[in-house]
Chains A and B, each alone.
Chain A
Amino acid sequence: MSLLNASIRELHTRITTKEIKPSELVAASLERIAATDSKVRAYLHVNGDLAMERARRLDDNVSPDAPLLYGIPGATKDNMNTKGLPTTAGSKILEPYVSAYNATVVDKLEARGAVSVGKLNMDEFAMGSTGENSAYFPTHNPWNLDRVPGGSSSGSAATVAAGQVLFALGSDTGGSIRQPASFCGVVGLKPTYGLVSRFGLIAYASSLDQIGPMTQSVEDNAVVLQAIAGHDKRDSTSANVEIPDYLSALTGDIRGLRIGLPKEYFGEGLDAGVRAEIEKAVKLLESLGATVGDVSLPHSKHAVATYYLLAPAEASSNLARFDGVRYGLRVEGDNLIDMYKKTRGEGFGEEVKRRIMLGTYALSSGYYDAYYLRAQKVRTLIKQDFDNVFANYDVILSPTAPTTAFKLGEPIDNPVQMYLNDIYTIPVNLAGIPAISVPCGLVDGLPVGLQLIGNAFDESTLLRVAHAFEQAASFTARASM
Chain B
Amino acid sequence: MSITIQEVEHIANLSRLALSDEEKANMTDTLGKILNFATELQELNVENVQPTTHSLPLKNVLRADEARTWLTQEEALSHAPEQEDGQFCVPAVMEG
Q: How large is the interface on B (under 10, 10 to 19, 20 to 34, 35 or more residues)?
A: 35 or more
Which residues in window 11-32 of B have CB below 8 A to A? Answer: 11-20, 23, 26-27, 30-31
B91 touches A380 (CB 8 A): no
Query: Which among B3, B23, B52, B54 is the interface contact of A353 at CB below 8 angstroms?
Result: B23
Q: How large is the interface on A (under 10, 10 to 19, 20 to 34, 35 or more residues)?
A: 35 or more
B46 touches A381 (CB 8 A): yes
A374 CA to B46 CA, complexed, in Å: 7
B80 touches A327 (CB 8 A): yes
Question: What is the 8 Å Cβ interface bit string for chain A, positions 91-108, against chain B (1 contact, 0 not)?
Answer: 000000110110000000
User: Known contacts A354-B27, A414-B33: does B91 contact A339 (CB below 8 Å)?
Assistant: yes
Residues of B near A330 (CB, < 8 A) are 81-82
Q: Which residue of B lies closest to A456 (CB)?
A: B55
Which residues in window 340-383 of A have CB below 8 A to B? Answer: 340-342, 344-346, 348, 350, 353-354, 356-358, 360-361, 364, 370-371, 373-381, 383
B91 touches A308 (CB 8 A): no
A332 CA to B79 CA, complexed, in Å: 16
B10 CB to closest chain A CB (Å) equals: 8
Cβ of B67 under 8 Å from chain A: no
* Chain A-chain B contacts (Cβ-Cβ < 8 Å), number: 175
B56 touches A380 (CB 8 A): no
Cβ of A32 under 8 Å from chain B: no
Query: Which among A236, A380, A431 is the interface contact of B51 at CB below 8 angstroms?
Result: A380
User: Known contacts A237-B58, A302-B41, A380-B51: does B8 contact A98 (CB below 8 Å)?
Assistant: no
Q: Which listed segment binds B: A181-189, A289-297, A318-326, A436-444? A: A318-326
A357 touches B46 (CB 8 A): no
B18 touches A341 (CB 8 A): yes
A460 CA to B81 CA, complexed, in Å: 47
A345 CA to B22 CA, complexed, in Å: 13
A376 touches B52 (CB 8 A): yes
User: Known contacts A345-B17, A371-B38, A379-B52: does B46 contact A325 (CB below 8 Å)?
Assistant: no
Binding site for A on B (CB under 8 A): 3, 7-8, 11-20, 23, 26-27, 30-31, 33-35, 37-38, 40-42, 44, 46, 49-56, 58, 61, 63, 71, 75-76, 78-82, 88, 90-93
